[in-house]
Amino acid sequence: MSRILFTNRDEFLDRPTQDAHFHSFGDESNPDSSAQILSGRDVQAGGSWFGINRSGRVALLTNITEPAKTYNTSRGYLVSSFLLSDSSHPLQDEIGKIIPEDALFAGFNLLLLAPTLNENGTIRYDSLFVTNHGGGGTLTSRPLHPNELSSGAMSNGIDGEGAELWPKVRHATEDFNATLHTLAPGQSESELTEHLFELLAWHPTTSIVERKELRNTIQVLPIPLMLEGSSNLTPRYYGTRLSTVLLVKKNGDVLFIERDIWKLVDGQPVKPVPPTERSFRFKLDIKSSANKN
């Protein structure tokens, strides 16, 4: 397996969202580029939080937990801009191309992955971690550390300030390490993906009732929260809306599964039973993108 990624989308349950599908973020300037990106879409801001394109580029975004404030560019733009780019430049050079000079963002952490085709026909990934360390901050980037490459976890905290010690991060990392060490040679994809979904479902026995406690759980059971800075005094339910698993094999075969976790039905949070999901399989087209100048 070249890459295994799995993630939850924690968000207000009433935020307008499109399920994962192939699309082009509405960019129809080049007909050949249509339906090149697989991701869900945030209807409200227009971007996404996690996706892959047909040439194998992957972007994963997490929001830094901080007081609400308005900025001039949506964080979801970072994902869409990277996935829409067909550049073959090194990842470090991509930052200046996908992010406008005057752009200011709310706090975010961003993982960027770009594939390279080896001479033997297998693929390998280059990776880059990008962050602004909090709302309006200066963008910095770094390669992943060796331990992050083998079994890393992204948080909603500030890089280098102890977020790796959050209970959700430690639990996810330890469980994933255990999974990697117990994988049987003949284990099926379905067994692996179900185990990853189980990891994403972990939550403590004590209830989470405040935003600052979200670091203590992987799956967020719906809680009523006030949107900071809003004139609407009615609480909105916040929780884990989706869980997604992405498997990319060294031969370029991709499996992408997006599963619904919590939905709003008549204004109340409901967990679909049995779970509803979208599953996609396709082959990466890396050769054509790797040969570009």
Average pLDDT over residues 129-143: 94
Backbone φ and ψ of 33, nearest 5°: -95, -5
273 Cβ contact list (under 8 Å, min separation 6): none
Average pLDDT over residues 240-249: 98
The confidence score (pLDDT) of residue 287 equals 64
What proportion of the chain, given as a percentage, has pLDDT over 90?
70
The confidence score (pLDDT) of residue 293 equals 42
Q: What CA–CA distance (Å, rounded) separates 144 from 24?
A: 28
Q: What CA–CA distance (Å, rounded) separates 40 from 158?
A: 25
Q: What CA–CA distance (Å, rounded) separates 278 from 136?
A: 35
The confidence score (pLDDT) of residue 288 equals 46
3-state SS class at 218: coil
Q: What tokens appear for 182 in the block?
A: 């117990």
pLDDT at 186 over 70: yes
* Residue 172 · residue 215 · CB < 8 Å: no
* Global model pTM greater than 0.85: yes
pLDDT at 231 over 90: no
The angle at the Cα of 229, spanning 12 to 231, to the nearest 5 degrees, equals 90
The confidence score (pLDDT) of residue 286 equals 83
pLDDT at 73 over 60: yes
Higher-pLDDT residue of 287 and 94 is: 94
Determine the structural domain holding residue 128 and report its residue range. Answer: 3-290
pLDDT at 290 over 70: no
In whole numbers, what is the pLDDT of the chain averaged over residues? 90
- Phi and psi based region of residue 134 (left: phi greater than 0; alpha: psi -120 to 50; beta: remaining): left
The confidence score (pLDDT) of residue 230 equals 62
Q: What CA–CA distance (Å, rounded) separates 55 from 36?
A: 8
Q: What CA–CA distance (Å, rounded) separates 263 from 242?
A: 9
CATH number assigned to the domain comprising residue 14: 3.60.60
* DSSP one-letter code for 207: P
pLDDT at 223 over 50: yes
Number of domains into which the chain is organized: 1
pLDDT at 220 over 90: yes
Higher-pLDDT residue of 285 and 246 is: 246
Q: For residue 29, what pLDDT band results from cuts at 50, 70 and 90?
A: low
Specify which residues 239 forms β-bridges with: 11
pLDDT at 125 over 50: yes
The confidence score (pLDDT) of residue 292 equals 46
State pLDDT tens for residues 277-288.
999 999 999 864
Q: Which of 4, 5, 10, 6 is nearest to 215 (CA)?
A: 10
The confidence score (pLDDT) of residue 183 equals 80
Highest mean pLDDT among 88-97, 150-159, 231-240: 150-159
